[in-house]
């Protein structure tokens, strides 16, 4: 007997939640308990009184599973609202990465040239290394990191995705 | 404003919330609360023998009265022992509030004596949980906990209170119920769903009402409306294990339970229906059988208060997120407003009559052994003859299915069983809890010899509170359902399913001050049951039944509704690995 896998789609979910102790464990635990995937998860409080946080989760799964994920998240008591950005019209998503690259000579110059193409900023430098700061979509950062790997990638730190619906209204 | 200690605030909240009974067990981290409860004039505390017993008693109390069950246990092992019952309440949507003591706040995280991360451990087996770090927050949290436990889809809520918070003081005023920032369960259906449901019902030629525990949770009004809808549409009604009693078993429209051990007619009607109206049920794997063969030619409407239950397993055509009672009310009102007439279902009922004629619940008797089905049927007849209100609880296993099949329930809240989690050890404490909440009813636990031992220590609790519960054990000296599956799946290799070293249940009961009765053959059955019912105090009955009986009909795991086994002679061969891998 073999276990069959289903085809997955990537979805970006945006949640507003009460900023209370254990909320992150509650959400992360729901994903593990029900066997859902988390590609990335970001969280920070977003209101003046620190009462509400936004959590952005990038997940993947078949449509039925995505629907279940949203329903399950929505029934957690401290969750105010769940929005599937991928389903709800155009949205902006960004990720920030810090990318450390080491090299000398032509490699160093090529790294700078590529960084310029990707509009990455140098935020730290030594004679033989740079740390670049880059923001963009996950794909853009993947591409940048992929190129840097060929030059002399040392390490990467990424924030995971945050996203908002386009237009003037709050979702 | 006068200040109160956290413990006094908690007890005052319980009084304000109308709590009459608390099931619990004291310990170091709840001593201040126990002191506040000492000789309390209105709150009765039931001292259990094990914290798991307390949770199931609270479930039995809640399910039989419609009020939330309240549990009070200490930190560490007190809380971890309660986890099974909390999970059971979550799976079966039982309103329950569990107060747990915790080590003082300054010791949290230090591996203090009797410390456990109760909030972490119960996070995924509660509807919600709270750690209260200040007595000033306590009243609001306790009121909110009861609100969350009892509204929307009911469930268990844990409130973890560190010992220093129980002792520290704060001003107390009864909190106003304010609008919650994020918790707003939808109880009123959207009009479009109701409209679609009514039109589909009015057009269906082979409709069936598939009902579940949600009807009972919704309250007596929902049960009455279900009966009205059945009368208006003339549709047959089947139910899950959890929903038994929502529709009267004595009705001509009743098909019996559906699913793995459901009736032939219920499962065939589900398979052949052109419209399934699912009311407060959740398409559990025990109900659907093989999914790709489930009700293949039907349109489906699903009424559920929990949006996550809809399209979780079976995709439906119309989703109605609402309280069952409210949705049924809307459907009936619109049906009447549009002057819909009952569709002629003569042909449909004729087909159902054909399936009924298979008499799938029949069983052979040999005159030597008591068939377990006979024991249930006789128990049903004898309790009915008393004319008194009867509440039945069960443990988990073959006896549970036989009880569901052969005991007829005509009213809600009279059938208490562990459906979702399937917790052995549920039934006996649940009967104690039900008896506590319904002192004038006859509370009977139908048990098996194996599962009754999982919380047998509660014999003492019933004795202490003079609760006249009846413990009716169908003793076949096996974990019968395990053995049945081993016969079906593992060529009868009975790995650890024999109940070796059983106690003498009669003497065991007598040791606790109970009356003990042994029933050893068919000729003793009727008199034994009568004696049990006529005895005033608690009675334990060791009813020796046929040892190798199996529970039929049965849809084997991985099979479709149309592939029911009606009797043991149909069992053949060895199961495939795919079928073995299913639960």
A65-118 per-position pLDDT tens digit: 999 999 999 999 999 999 999 999 899 999 999 999 999 999 999 999 999 999
Using an 8 Å CB-CB cutoff, list chain A residues near B182: 17-18, 77-80
Cα–Cα nearest to A75, from B305, B284, B412: B305
Catalytic (active site) residue B163: yes
Q: What is the pLDDT of residue B567?
A: 85
C-alpha B408: how far from its chain's center? 16
DSSP-based three-state secondary structure for A95: strand
Question: How far from each other are the two terminal CA atoms of chain B, in whole angstroms?
Answer: 58
> Is B52 an active-site residue?
no
Alpha-carbon distance of B338 to B329, in angstroms, equals 14
- CA of B455 vs chain A CAs: smallest distance (Å): 28
A42 pLDDT band (50/70/90 cuts)? very high
Tens of each residue's pLDDT in chain B, 583 residues: 689 999 999 999 999 999 999 999 999 999 999 999 999 999 999 999 999 999 999 999 999 999 999 999 999 999 999 999 999 999 999 999 999 999 999 999 999 999 999 999 999 999 999 999 999 999 999 999 999 999 999 999 999 999 999 999 999 998 987 778 899 999 999 999 999 999 999 999 999 999 999 999 999 999 999 999 999 999 999 999 999 999 999 999 999 999 999 999 999 999 999 999 999 999 999 999 999 999 999 999 999 999 999 999 999 999 999 999 999 999 999 999 999 999 999 999 999 999 999 999 999 999 999 999 999 999 999 999 999 999 999 999 999 999 999 999 999 999 999 999 999 999 999 999 999 999 999 999 999 999 999 999 999 999 999 999 999 999 999 999 999 999 988 999 999 999 999 999 999 999 999 999 999 999 999 999 999 999 999 999 999 999 999 999 999 888 999 999 998 777 766 677 877 787 6
B22-58 b/e (C-beta count within 10 Å ≥ 16 → b)? bbbbbbebbbbbbebbeeeeebebbebbbbbbbbbbb
Nearest CB to A1; choose among B123, B183, B578: B578
- Per-residue pLDDT, B36: 98
Question: What is the ipTM for the molecules in this complex?
Answer: 0.91
The C-alpha atoms of residue A56 and residue A92 are separated, in whole angstroms, by 12
CA distance B578 to chain A (A): 7
The structure tokens listed for B575 are 């199961």
Residue B572: predicted pLDDT: 62
CA distance A30 to A36: 8
Q: Is the pTM of this model over 0.90?
A: yes
Say what the pLDDT of residue B8 is.
Answer: 98
**Shortest distance, CA B406 to any CA of chain A (angstroms):** 36
Q: Cβ contact (<8 Å) for B124 and A77? A: no
A81 beta partners: A16
B579 contacts on A by Cβ (under 8 Å): none
Residue of chain A nearest B126, judged by CA positions: A76
Taking an 8 Å cut-off on Cβ atoms, the answer to whether B181 and A22 are in contact is no
| B322: closest CA of chain A, how far (Å) | 14
Cβ B562 vs Cβ B266: under 8 Å: no
Q: Residue B573's pLDDT is what? A: 60
Calculate the CA dihedral of residues B445, B447, B451, B455 and round it to 10 degrees.
30
8 Å CB contact of B307 and A30: no
What confidence score (pLDDT) does residue B468 get? 98
Asked whether the predicted pLDDT for residue A14 surpasses 90, the reply is yes
3-state helix, strand, coil in chain B (%, to 5): 45, 15, 40
Structure-block tokens of residue B61: 């109390």
DSSP 8-state code for residue B80 = H
Return the SS3 of A126: strand
Cβ of B182 within 8 Å of Cβ of A21? The answer is no
Q: Quick check: bond before B553 cis, omega within 30? A: yes
Alpha helices, DSSP H only, in chain A?
23-33, 63-74, 106-117, 138-151
Q: Do B577 and A1 touch (CB under 8 A)?
A: yes
Least Cα separation, residue B120 to chain A (angstroms): 8
Contacts of A4 in chain B (CB under 8 A): none
CB contacts of B150 in chain A (<8 Å) are: none
DSSP H stretches of helix in B452-546: 459-464, 480-489, 505-511, 522-534
Name the residue of chain A whose CA is nearest to B152's CA.
A75
From the list A51, A72, A77, the residue facing B183 with the nearest CB is A77
Write the CB contacts of B172 (distance below 8 Å, at least 6 apart in sequence): B1, B2, B3, B4, B8, B9, B12, B139
Tell me how far apart the alpha carbons of residues B307 and B310 are, in angstroms, rounded to a whole number. 5
Closest chain B residue to A69, measured at CA: B308
Query: From the CA of A52, how many Å to the nearest CA of chain B?
Result: 10
Suggest the residue from A28, A68, A77 to mutate for an interface test with chain B (most B CBs closer than 10 A).
A77
Cβ(A2)–Cβ(B578) below 8 Å: no
Q: Measure CB to CB from residue A77 to each of B148, B306, B311 and give the nearest one.
A: B148
Which residue among B3, B106, B113, B384 is the active-site one? B113
Which of these is catalytic: B127, B163, B300, B470?
B163
Q: Which of B151, B86, B568 is nearest to B364 (CA)?
A: B568
- What are phi and psi for residue B281, nearest 5 degrees? -125, 175
The CA–CA distances, whole Å, from A144 to A149, A155, B460 equal 9, 13, 71
Residues of B with a Cβ under 8 Å from any A Cβ are 119-120, 123-124, 127-128, 131, 148, 153, 180-183, 306-308, 310-312, 315, 577-578, 581
**End-to-end C-alpha distance for chain A, whole angstroms:** 45
Is B51 marked active-site?
yes
Give the chain A residue whose CA is nearest to the CA of B186.
A75
Q: Check: CB of residue B355 under 8 Å from CB of residue B388.
A: no
Query: What's the CA gap between B482 and B480, in Å, rounded?
Result: 5
Calpha distance B51→B54 (Å, rounded): 5
> Which residues on chain B are in Cβ contact (under 8 Å) with A17?
182
**Which H or E run includes B474?**
strand B470-475
Query: Which long-range contacts link B18-21 to residues 24+ away (Cβ below 8 Å)?
Result: B18/B67, B19/B43, B19/B68, B19/B70, B20/B44, B21/B45, B21/B46, B21/B61, B21/B70, B21/B436, B21/B437
Dihedral sign (CA B197, B202, B208, B213): positive
Quick one: which of B286, B325, B282, B323 has its CA closest to B302? B282
Query: CA quadruple B375, B380, B384, B388: dihedral positive or negative?
Result: positive
């Amino acid at each position: 007997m073999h276990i069959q896998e289903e085809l997955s789609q990537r979805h970006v979910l945006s949640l507003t939640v009460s900023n209370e102790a254990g909320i992150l464990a509650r959400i992360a635990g729901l994903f593990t308990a029900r066997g859902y995937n988390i590609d990335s998860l970001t969280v920070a409080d977003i209101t003046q009184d620190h009462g509400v946080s936004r959590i952005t989760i990038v997940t993947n799964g078949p449509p039925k599973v995505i629907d279940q994920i949203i329903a399950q998240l929505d029934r957690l008591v401290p969750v105010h609202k769940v929005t599937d950005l991928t389903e709800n019209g155009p949205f902006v998503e960004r990720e920030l990465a810090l990318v450390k690259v080491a090299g000398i000579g032509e490699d160093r110059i090529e790294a700078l040239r590529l960084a310029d193409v990707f509009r990455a900023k140098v935020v730290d430098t030594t004679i033989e290394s740079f740390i670049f700061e880059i923001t963009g979509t996950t794909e853009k950062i993947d591409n940048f990191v992929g190129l840097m790997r060929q030059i002399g990638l040392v390490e990467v730190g990424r924030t995971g995705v945050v996203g908002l619906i386009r237009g003037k209204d709050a979702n | 404003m006068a200040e109160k200690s956290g413990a006094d605030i908690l007890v005052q909240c319980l009084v304000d919330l109308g709590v009459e009974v608390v099931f619990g067990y004291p310990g170091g981290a709840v001593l201040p609360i126990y002191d506040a409860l000492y000789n309390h004039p209105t709150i009765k505390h039931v001292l259990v023998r094990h914290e798991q017993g307390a949770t199931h008693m609270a479930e039995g109390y809640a399910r039989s009265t419609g009020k939330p069950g309240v549990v009070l246990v200490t930190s560490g092992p007190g809380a971890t022992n309660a986890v099974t019952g909390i999970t059971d309440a979550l799976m079966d949507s039982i309103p329950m509030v569990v107060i747990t003591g915790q080590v003082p706040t300054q010791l949290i995280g230090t591996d203090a004596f009797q410390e456990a991360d109760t909030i972490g451990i119960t996070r995924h087996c509660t509807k919600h949980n709270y750690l209260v770090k200040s007595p000033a927050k306590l009243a609001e949290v306790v009121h909110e906990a009861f609100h969350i436990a009892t509204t929307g889809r009911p469930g268990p809520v844990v409130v973890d209170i560190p010992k220093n918070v129980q002792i520290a003081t704060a001003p107390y005023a009864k909190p106003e119920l304010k609008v919650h920032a994020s918790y707003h369960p939808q109880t009123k259906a959207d009009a479009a769903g109701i409209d679609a449901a009514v039109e589909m019902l009015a057009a269906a030629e082979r409709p069936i009402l598939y009902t579940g525990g949600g009807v009972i949770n919704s309250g007596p009004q929902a049960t009455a409306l279900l009966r009205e809808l059945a009368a208006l549409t003339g549709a047959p009604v089947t139910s899950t294990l959890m929903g038994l009693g929502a529709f009267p078993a004595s009705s001509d429209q009743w098909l019996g339970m559906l699913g793995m051990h459901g009736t032939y007619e219920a499962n065939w009607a589900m398979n052949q229906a052109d419209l399934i109206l699912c009311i407060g049920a959740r398409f559990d794997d025990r109900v659907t059988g093989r999914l790709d063969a489930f009700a293949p030619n039907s349109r489906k409407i699903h009424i559920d208060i929990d949006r996550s239950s809809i399209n979780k397993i079976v995709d439906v055509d119309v989703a109605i997120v609402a309280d069952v009672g409210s949705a049924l009310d809307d459907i009936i009102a619109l049906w009447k407003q549009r002057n819909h007439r009952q569709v002629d279902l003569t042909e449909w009922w004729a087909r159902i009559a054909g399936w009924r004629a298979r008499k799938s619940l029949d069983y052979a008797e040999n005159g030597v052994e008591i068939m377990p089905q006979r024991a249930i049927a006789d128990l049903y007849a004898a309790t009915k003859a008393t004319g008194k209100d009867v509440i039945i609880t069960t443990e988990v296993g073959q006896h549970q299915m036989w009880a569901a099949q052969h005991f007829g329930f005509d009213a809600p809240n009279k059938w208490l069983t562990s459906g979702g989690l399937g917790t052995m050890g549920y039934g006996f404490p649940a009967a104690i809890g039900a008896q506590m909440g319904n002192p004038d009813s006859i509370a009977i636990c139908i048990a098996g010899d194996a599962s009754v031992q999982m919380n047998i220590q509660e014999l003492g609790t019933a004795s202490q509170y003079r609760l006249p519960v009846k413990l009716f054990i169908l003793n076949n000296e096996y974990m019968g359902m395990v053995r049945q599956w081993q016969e079906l799946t593992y060529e009868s290799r009975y790995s650890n399913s024999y109940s070796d070293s059983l106690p003498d249940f009669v003497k065991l009961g007598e040791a606790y001050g109970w009356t003990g009765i042994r029933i050893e053959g068919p000729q003793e059955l009727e008199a034994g049951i009568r004696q049990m019912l006529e005895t005033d105090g608690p009675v334990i009955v060791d009813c020796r039944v046929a040892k190798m009986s199996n529970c039929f009909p049965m849809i084997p795991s991985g099979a479709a509704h149309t592939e029911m086994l009606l009797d043991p002679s149909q069992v053949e061969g060895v199961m495939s690995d795919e079928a073995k891998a299913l639960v």
